[in-house]
Amino acid sequence: MNPETAVALSGVWKTYRLRERGTSPREVLARIVNPRFRTVEALRGIDLVIARGEIVAIAGPNGAGKSTTVKLLSGLLAPDQGTVVALGCDPIRDRLRYVSRIGVCFGQRTELWWDHPVASSFDWKRVVWNLSQSQYDRSLGALTDMLGLNDIWRVPARELSLGQKMRADLALALLPEPELVILDEPTLGLDVLAKRHVLDFCREINRERRVTIIITSHDLSDLEALAGRMVMVHQGQVAFDGEFDRLRATVGLQRRLRLVTIGEAPSLDGATFLETRDGAHEYAYDAGTTTLPALLAHAEAQVTVLDVETHRPPIDDVIATLYESWSGAPSRT
């Protein structure tokens, strides 16, 4: 493997066999005698290469296979077929060597000792990860500055807010100065400020230490703010792999037009009316096929235009359009 490669998934298949449960008592009994199973192909021959120092976002609709991908990379799951190589290790066979070099943070589950102050969890981590006192002091010093741990240092984990807990968990994952950080929904339930802290911090450690970061989130604007590269998984395969701008381009040069007018929302050829909010009418149009002057001329022919604003649609809308196109549902962008 190229030493500059952090992670390489090659032809990875992962299949789950799920037992189908009955609904009525009779059906439940029948299924005990004659069990039925359905097969779910979580990953279908996935190939993925991530270079050292990259920040990669993994996204996809529910059940797309992103959790399975994260578990494979964390050494929690073994692939049915194909190979997973991360930091030159097989995450399952070389588990101890591998996990000593990675940091994993499950946003929805804390690693903190529940009834103990945050400080105790860090002491625990120092011993279990066998960190030298100098490494511990250096890393903790940096983390304390960046994540503001001082105010929660002596507080038991059970008394922390969601945002504080996330900060502490993130710091705990990064204490051993890992080369690869896997963040599974790290912004889950966080308020705007806490979210910004977490994202800024990730950017900083990536820039300063060239740490490779793999992040999943349902909040796609978070991912866009952090990651340079987006991998979208759909039905167990990589449906998109590239930069966010290229992702936007896959659904055309979509733009939003906001018009403030005197009177009703005008009907515009080449644009789809979305909604009227706070006196402004919003339209979606494809800048590749429809020009803005043409739309404005059309509008002014019908009403008096007081203000105009164009912007790109939020990344969530772009992704929603993709999801809808994958599922065959009508899209609105």
- The reply on whether position 186 binds another protein by CB under 8 A is no
Burial class (CB in 10 A: 0-12, 13-18, 19+), 113: middle
β-strand pairing of 212-216 with 36-51: unpaired
**Minimum Å distance from CB 103 to another protein?**
9
129 vs 240 by CB, closer to another protein: 129
Contact 217, 186 (CB under 8 A): yes
- The reply on whether position 71 binds another protein by CB under 8 A is yes
79 vs 266 by CB, closer to another protein: 79
124 vs 326 by CB, closer to another protein: 124
Residue 260 β-bridge partners: 280, 307
CA atoms within 13 A on the CB side of 101: 18
- The reply on whether position 116 binds another protein by CB under 8 A is yes
166 vs 299 by CB, closer to another protein: 166
Residue from 6, 9, 73, 77 binding another protein (CB under 8 A): 77
Residue from 55, 57, 58, 104 binding another protein (CB under 8 A): 104
**Minimum Å distance from CB 244 to another protein?**
21
Distance between alpha carbon 55 and the CA centroid of its chain, in Å? 11
41 vs 179 by CB, closer to another protein: 179
123 vs 286 by CB, closer to another protein: 123
- The reply on whether position 185 binds another protein by CB under 8 A is yes
Binding window for another protein (CB under 8 A); candidates: 123-131, 194-202, 242-250, 301-309: 123-131
Give per-residue burial for 309-332: e unless 16+ CB within 10 Å, then b: eeeebebebbbbbbbeeeeeeeee
Binding-residue total with another protein (CB under 8 A)? 47
254 φ/ψ sector (left φ>0, alpha ψ -120 to 50, else beta): beta
Positive or negative torsion for Cα 51, 55, 61, 66: positive
CB under 8 Å to 209, separation ≥6 — which residues? 177
β-strand pairing of 180-184 with 55-59: unpaired
* SS3 readout for 270-298: CEEEEEEECCEEEEEEECCCCCHHHHHHH
170 vs 274 by CB, closer to another protein: 170
**Minimum Å distance from CB 290 to another protein?**
37
Burial class (CB in 10 A: 0-12, 13-18, 19+), 49: middle
- The reply on whether position 95 binds another protein by CB under 8 A is yes
**Minimum Å distance from CB 115 to another protein?**
7
- The reply on whether position 115 binds another protein by CB under 8 A is yes
Residues lying near another protein in the complex (CB under 8 A) are found at: 16, 62, 67-68, 71, 74-78, 92, 94-97, 99-102, 104, 106-109, 111, 113, 115-117, 120, 123-124, 127-130, 135, 176-179, 185, 188-189, 209, 216, 218
